[in-house]
Amino acid sequence: MRDIANIRENPGKILVLGSYPQGCQTILDFDYLSGKETPSIVGIVTGSGRFQKYFWGNSEVLIPCFTSTLAAAEALSNITWMFNVNSGRRALMSTQNFFEDFPDADGGHIFAEDVPEEHALTLLHDYQQKGKTIIGPAGVGLIVPGALKLGVVGGVDWRQLEKNRLTLPGSVAVLSASGGMINEIITMVASTDHQISFALCFGGDRFPSTSPKDAFLAAQKDPNTSHIVYYGELGGQDEYDVADLLKTKQVTKPVIAYIAGVIGESFEQPVQFGHAKALAGSNDETASAKRKALAASGVTVAQSMTDFAKAIKEIPSSQPTTHFDRAINTNRIASKFSSTISKETGDGYEFIGSSLQDWTDRGDIALQITSALLGKQPKSQVTTDFIRTVFLLLVDHGPQVSGALTTIITARAGKGVVDSLAAGLLTVGPRFGGAINDAANEWFDGVSENLDPRQHIESYARQKKYIGGIGHKKYRLGLPDPRTKQLAAFAEQLPTHRYFDYAKSIESITTTKKGSLILNVDGHVAALMLDILENEEGYDTNQLSGLIKADFFNALFVIPRTVGFVAHYLDQKRLDEGLFRLPDDDILLQ
């Protein structure tokens, strides 16, 4: 088991496996009240959503979600613990996936009850006995005041954390087999003007990974722990292991214990209590026998909960720390929606992490727009330079194209700038302006699935579908589009450009069939943007896939073309040619 003192010094970060909002919120409240600058939970593996919203103190924070531990590993590198809230049947598989993808992690807490015993033994042998720290199954976790809260131990309400001073260091270790009782015992300790050094719940299943023996040794080794308070139950042999530790002086710190379940000895046949392990199959597993063994080893054994509380009260008191630097409002209300783009501050308005005044001082609208598209300021100047070049090249393609023409017609009908612009934008789609995202999808799928370019082309030919980013009405092989030369030059600035290479390999085949089936501007923009995001901004395949699903790449057309449409609108207002109407000769009337 990992040293408690080491956890205090370096508590680490947590990846949550499954969805348990209450469990996550109590960990974040603990972190905040402990004075941490950032949440210890840095990701959640769940099938729903890209973020989950939680309170961080009195404000809110978005925790990123991932579809798998592998996806989380591609984005996160500093994970120390897992908080596994999956069902009992999925506990083993999800834990195995976690350690496969985060082999350097220290361990985690498995919250589920009724984990199959074969699975529980595998967890014990494959992880706990090989140096990992697994708390559970069927427990409520581990808490080290001010450092780590791994589970719901200590309560889910922040007021309970505050009342029992669970963010402040103490000297009493609380150990329990019961998740329901451990919080009661923590409250007993706090009510007698003591504070805990740590609290750990082993769990009530037959084969918890962390045993009482492990926890007692951890408490003995912990320099902050002066006394150990233990709550056990009938069933099993754990208390005899604990007694041996005291007899052999491996544990020398004072121990106060209560073993529940004496009532079970009143029945002729063994009675199964709430936990799977709470069943005395022989006389030495009864609560009375365990109490006797512990008492013989020097443990102060209580015969009732009242005596237990009195014994805890008699622990030499130390002046409790009651100072809290932070507070949480009792009436926190979740926001209706989230925005990471802008906000109003005392200094005015902030946009993508900088005030509008700072953006003005920088004087680079391309950098500002690039930051807006990415939701964060780019890491590389190449990214900004590429998007600037794209915008300069795509601002307008003449009045003949559908978007510009529709804008012009609407303006000449007497409508305003918003109506005219909207009319032009509504024509953007698969046949006009919407091909960049399609092309990005083509190149992404081709590279990700390691498709052979010829098979890619043939599959589209059989379906009689066009390949996004391929083909031009005016330019052809031998008569290249001059804009593509400027775009292609960006490939020379990248260490690798696998998407652009794939797109060019497609072009090398399609142009043998027809000279006009070249890699057009849309195809260049899509491929190079993928390569730049991967190389310069560190985007992984999941993030790139998310951008494609969000229609990100078409924004590279919509933003500059909006300027072109507005220009055409204003041009028509200056010319004032009146309502546009097609002559009858231009229409086939039947």
Is the backbone of residue 146 left (phi > 0), alpha (psi -120 to 50) or beta? left
Distance of CA 251 to the CA centre of its chain: 40
Measured between its terminal Cα atoms, the distance across the chain in Å is: 86
The stretches of 514-551 forming alpha helices (DSSP H) are: 521-535, 541-549
Q: What is the CA 249 to chain-centroid distance, rounded?
A: 45
410 half-sphere exposure, CB direction, 13 A CA radius: 24
> Tokens 């400027």 sit at which residue?
486
Cα(451)–Cα(51) distance, integer angstroms:
32
Q: Please, how many CA atoms are within 13 Å of residue 344, restricted to the half-sphere of its CB?
A: 0
Contacts of 310 (CB under 8 A, 6+ apart): 302
- Cα 572 to Cα 409: distance, rounded to the nearest angstrom: 9
Task: Count Cβ atoms below 10 Å from residue 543 Cβ, excluding itself.
Answer: 15
Let me know if 431 is exposed, middle or buried by CB neighbors in 10 A (0-12, 13-18, 19+): exposed
CA dihedral sign of residues 532, 535, 538, 540: positive
The sign of the torsion formed by the CA atoms of 349, 352, 355, 356 equals: negative
Query: Helix, strand or coil for residue 112?
Result: coil
Distance, in Å, from the CA atom of 240 to the CA atom of 235, rounded to the nearest integer, reads: 11
Q: Please give the DSSP secondary-structure letter assigned to residue 265.
A: G
Residue 275 bears catalytic tag: yes
DSSP annotation of 60: E
Q: Using CA atoms, how far apart are residues 502 and 443, in angstroms rounded to an integer?
A: 7
Hey, how many other C-beta atoms are within 10 angstroms of the C-beta on 330?
Answer: 7
Q: Does residue 274 sit in helix, strand or coil?
A: coil
CB 432 within 8 A of CB 403: yes
Enumerate residues 6+ apart whose C-beta is below 8 A from 311: 256, 300, 302
Closest CA to 202 of 211, 194, 192, 191: 211
Query: What is the CA angle 102-104-109, rounded to 5?
Result: 70
Active-site residue among 109, 119, 194, 275? 275
Q: Quick one: residue 469, left, alpha or beta (phi over 0 = left, psi -120 to 50 = alpha)?
A: left
Residues labelled catalytic? 275
